């Protein structure tokens, strides 16, 4: 598979994740007549990932997240030459998705951004959780997310079910951590909305880059030891599709 198609798959997958997940939070969760609430937003994030893992995962591996890309590289599941291009595509997609969401949301008279689904700690945390609490939450959530990805795409895992497990795991992650950080576990997802929310949301982005990357790296090391390693040029769903064929 040529690199341009891989990058395109990561772009569209990340766009859908940010637009669908953050869109549920910005457009639906705050309207009483819709009332999807925390559960609805969590499901939106999980379902966007699940759908794109199967739609474009066989092309790029279905990362849609710089932390996942980094963690899979540490685990030996992603070729080094893919890491930077994937991350750039993911961030660009997240920013464009946030821009599209902003254009739609501002079409409603009197609409207020209210943080625009950005992530934060302290005063910007939905539940006003402290910096250490938010950092620990993001580390643990990212660690287990990447570990699930590595485990469900290992040689010993049942073929064909990785996308379901990954999507449901992301749903659980949001159910736990939306009140704490508004859930990142994805530096690209954090970057897009923060640029439009502005102010301190931008200055707090450092946490939602460094901690998810550290958590993903730790999961990559544990996953390399715990699960069967895939070839260096294989990524996520590609391994699974080959076994299922």
Its pTM stands at: 0.91
Residue 155 Cα distances to 40, 52, 109, 159, 207, angstroms: 33, 22, 53, 9, 34
Task: Please give the Cα distance from 101 to 95 (Å, whole number).
Answer: 10
- Confidence check: pLDDT of 193 > 80: yes
Task: Please give the Cα distance from 183 to 245 (Å, whole number).
Answer: 35
pLDDT tens profile 216-230: 999 999 999 988 644
Length of the chain equals 245
Residue 116 Cα distances to 46, 76, 111, 120, 196, angstroms: 19, 36, 11, 11, 7
* Structural domains for the chain: 3-106+117-244 (1.20.1080.10)
pLDDT, residue 242, reads 43
Task: Judge whether 134 and 180 are in contact, CB under 8 Å.
Answer: yes
Higher confidence at residue 17 or residue 113?
17
pLDDT tens profile 34-60: 668 899 999 999 999 999 999 999 999
pLDDT, residue 154, reads 87
Residue appearing with tokens 């290992």: 154
pLDDT, residue 37, reads 87
* CA pseudo-torsion sign 10, 173, 125, 69: negative
Q: What integer is the mean pLDDT of 142-170?
A: 93
Task: Please give the Cα distance from 205 to 178 (Å, whole number).
Answer: 16
Give me the phi and psi of 116, to 5 degrees please: 50, 45
């Amino acid at each position: 598979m040529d690199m341009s198609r891989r990058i395109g798959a990561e772009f569209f997958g990340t766009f859908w994740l940010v637009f669908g997940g953050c869109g549920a939070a910005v457009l639906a969760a705050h309207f009483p007549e819709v009332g999807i609430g925390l559960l609805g937003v969590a499901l939106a994030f999980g379902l966007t990932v699940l759908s794109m893992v199967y739609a474009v995962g066989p092309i790029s591996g279905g990362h849609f997240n710089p932390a996942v890309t980094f963690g899979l590289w540490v685990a030996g599941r992603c070729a080094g030459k893919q890491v930077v291009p994937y991350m750039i595509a993911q961030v660009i997609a997240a920013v464009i998705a946030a821009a599209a969401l902003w254009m739609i949301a501002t079409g409603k008279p009197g609409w207020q951004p209210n943080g625009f689904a950005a992530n934060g700690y302290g005063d910007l945390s939905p539940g006003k959780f402290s910096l250490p609490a938010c950092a620990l939450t993001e580390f643990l959530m990212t660690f287990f997310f990447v570990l699930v990805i590595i485990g469900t795409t290992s040689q010993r895992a049942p073929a064909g079910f990785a996308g379901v497990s990954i999507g449901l795991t992301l749903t659980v992650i949001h159910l736990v951590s939306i009140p704490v950080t508004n859930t990142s576990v994805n530096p690209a997802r954090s970057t897009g909305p923060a640029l439009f929310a502005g102010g301190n949301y931008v200055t707090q982005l450092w946490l939602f880059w460094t901690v998810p990357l550290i958590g993903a790296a730790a999961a990559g090391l544990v996953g390399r030891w715990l699960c069967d390693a895939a070839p260096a040029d294989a990524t996520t769903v590609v391994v699974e599709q080959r076994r299922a064929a």
